[in-house]
């Protein structure tokens, strides 16, 4: 099955995941007021040049026009980098990037708080980060996808935020998106079973207001319909006998 990998393949994804994590870590000091979302893409592309065997996974994926996604404030995911889109203090900036290496994929995302953000925005980001880690804790052989979904939904909704429903996490490995889908809402002990060697891109997307979305005229950018702030975190996680192995 294309979504069940052997340990050598997991090691390869981990190698690419280290580079992805390094980029996200470095972006903490690069994402500052005045830079454009295009500058974020340029930094990623420049970093990848140091790793000739690695390439940006999103470029050309279903005709997506850029190497990564940068989504600001009410934008949830799939923001297309632009030199005209400038980051300012108080923004929430979600960066989502994927790397292809040795025919395998890693996919990870992080939401940055630029300068001073409102305490509500800070709580949103913290809630999304915790929701991801709660879901990762549920990763075990014999568990169910619904365990992850419920973990995200419970930790987000008890804090009064909403879970975006139009987009899901996904299996990943020899392709970017594969079985199983991982909704960010659902019930424990339902859905597909987690199998050793499965690799999951777990990615809560949450909002302060309603979960309804719109797609911008660019055909890609998903934003909250009510323009409320949104956050997105993602890790690529392998299911192993010893539990979750975070590869990104």
* Binding region for ligand MF3 (CB under 6 A): 58, 61-62, 64, 69, 78, 96, 98, 107, 201, 203, 234
Query: What does the alpha-carbon distance between residue 241 and residue 213 come to, in Å, rounded to a whole number?
Result: 38
Contact 94, 77 (CB under 8 A): yes
Please, which residue, 79 or 186, has the CB nearer to ligand MF3? 79
Radius of gyration of the chain (CA): 17
Nearer to Co ion, 24 or 113 (CB): 24
Shortest distance, position 120 Cβ to ligand MF3, whole Å: 25
Given a contact cutoff of 8 angstroms between Cβ atoms, the answer to whether 76 and 167 are in contact is yes
Cβ-contact 148, 182 below 8 angstroms: yes
By the 8 A CB rule, do 171 and 136 touch?
A: no
CA distance 97 to 111: 12
156 binds Co ion (CB under 5 A): no
Q: How many CB atoms lie within 10 A of CB 210?
A: 12
In whole angstroms, the minimum distance from the beta carbon of 119 to ligand MF3 comes to 28
Answer yes or no whether residue 66 interacts with Co ion by CB under 5 A. no
Quick one: what does residue 61 bind among Co ion, ligand MF3, none, with the CB cut-off 5 to 8 Å set by partner type?
Answer: ligand MF3
Between 58 and 101, name the residue whose CB sits nearer to ligand MF3: 58
Q: How far is the CB of 127 from ligand MF3 (least distance, A)?
A: 19
Residues lying near Co ion in the complex (CB under 5 A) are found at 96, 107, 109, 201, 234
């Amino acid at each position: 099955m294309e979504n069940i990998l052997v340990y050598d393949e997991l090691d390869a994804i981990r190698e690419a995941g280290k580079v992805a994590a390094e980029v996200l870590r470095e972006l903490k000091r690069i994402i500052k007021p005045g830079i454009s979302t295009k500058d974020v893409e340029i930094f990623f592309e420049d970093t990848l040049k140091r790793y000739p065997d690695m390439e940006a996974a999103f470029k050309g994926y279903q005709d997506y026009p850029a190497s990564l996604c940068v989504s600001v404030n009410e934008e949830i995911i799939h923001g297309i980098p632009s030199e005209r889109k400038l980051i300012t203090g108080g923004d929430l900036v979600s960066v989502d990037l994927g790397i292809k290496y040795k025919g395998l994929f890693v996919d990870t995302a992080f939401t940055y708080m630029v300068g001073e953000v409102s305490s509500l925005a800070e709580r949103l980001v913290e809630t999304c980060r915790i929701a991801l880690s709660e879901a990762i804790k549920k990763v075990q052989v014999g568990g169910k996808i619904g365990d992850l979904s419920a973990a995200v939904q419970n930790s987000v909704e008890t804090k009064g935020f909403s879970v975006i429903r139009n987009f899901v996490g996904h299996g990943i490995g020899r392709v970017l998106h594969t079985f199983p889908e991982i909704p960010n809402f659902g019930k424990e002990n339902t859905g597909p079973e987690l199998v050793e060697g499965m690799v999951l891109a777990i990615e809560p997307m949450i909002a302060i207001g309603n979960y309804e979305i719109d797609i911008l005229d660019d055909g890609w950018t998903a934003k909250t319909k009510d323009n409320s702030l949104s956050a997105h975190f993602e890790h690529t996680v392998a299911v192993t006998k010893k539990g979750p192995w975070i590869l990104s």
